[in-house]
Amino acid sequence: MKFLFDLFPVILFFSMFKWGESNPDAAQALAQQYLSGLVNGGVASATQAPIMLATAIAILATLAQILYLLLRGKKVDTMLWVSLAIITVFGGATIYFHNETFIKWKPTVLYWCFGGALLVSQALLGKNLIRMMMEKQISLPDSVWQRLSLSWAGFFGVMGLINLYVAYNFSTAAWVNFKLFGFTGMMFAFVIAQSLFLSKYVKDSR
């Protein structure tokens, strides 16, 4: 359930973009009705309306996630706050300038923030964030915790680069598809690889 909860804004982003792409006139009318006050010049073109609507929905969905957690008295992860800040800034720029380049940079900035946080915490603060999140579930040698943290930092760095490659070498529609299916698949494969790597330590700790 948490996996679907985390993907909620991405799924809505994808769905709204696909609907707008298939119904450009209706998407333009909807964007003109609800977003014109936020757009530089006050006009949303039919070609830009799908990505603008999808971006607006993703911002609202991320905000809804945080409000849901707060209303239920649950802790909001720092990563979710960071995600809200980044999508609001870059998504807001996409809507205001009616330019998809800004929202295409959002995943890269987010992934690099995550990777940078892991590296800075380890190097400057002596804190292993991966260890802090997982040590209650598994016991590992210090060297393995460090390798695990570095591998996640490297993974986020690569994900950010791949996002830029797809964003600048393929159409917006292809990028939207990759954002949902490509990144989800890569994350799933990486988690499986990490689980296989850690499985021997789970067995040894029993």
> How many Å apart are CA 185 and CA 177, to the nearest integer?
12
Query: Exposed, middle or buried: residue 53 (CB in 10 Å: 0-12, 13-18, 19+)?
Result: buried
> How many Å apart are CA 175 and CA 167, to the nearest integer?
6
Domain ranges of the chain: 1-99, 100-206
Assign 202 a pLDDT band (cuts: 50, 70, 90). low
Each residue of 89-124: pLDDT tens digit?
A: 999 999 999 999 999 999 999 999 999 999 999 888
Assign 133 a pLDDT band (cuts: 50, 70, 90). confident
pLDDT of 45 over the 90 cut: no
Residue 137: predicted pLDDT: 78
pLDDT of 77 over the 70 cut: yes
Please report, rounded to a whole number, the percentage of residues in the chain having pLDDT higher than 70: 96
Which one, of 76, 160, 151, 142, lies nearest residue 119 by Cα? 151
Token representation of residue 127: 């804190």
Which one, of 118, 93, 77, 110, lies nearest residue 179 by Cα? 110
Q: Kindly provide the b/e burial profile for residues 84-120, where b requires at least 16 CB atoms within 10 angstroms of the residue's own CB.
A: bebbeebbbbbbeebebebbbbbbbbbbbbbbebbbe
Token representation of residue 205: 């700790």
- What average pLDDT does the chain have? 91
Which one, of 158, 141, 159, 155, lies nearest residue 193 by Cα? 155
Residue 60: predicted pLDDT: 97
Residue 203: predicted pLDDT: 54
Give the number of residues written for the chain.
206
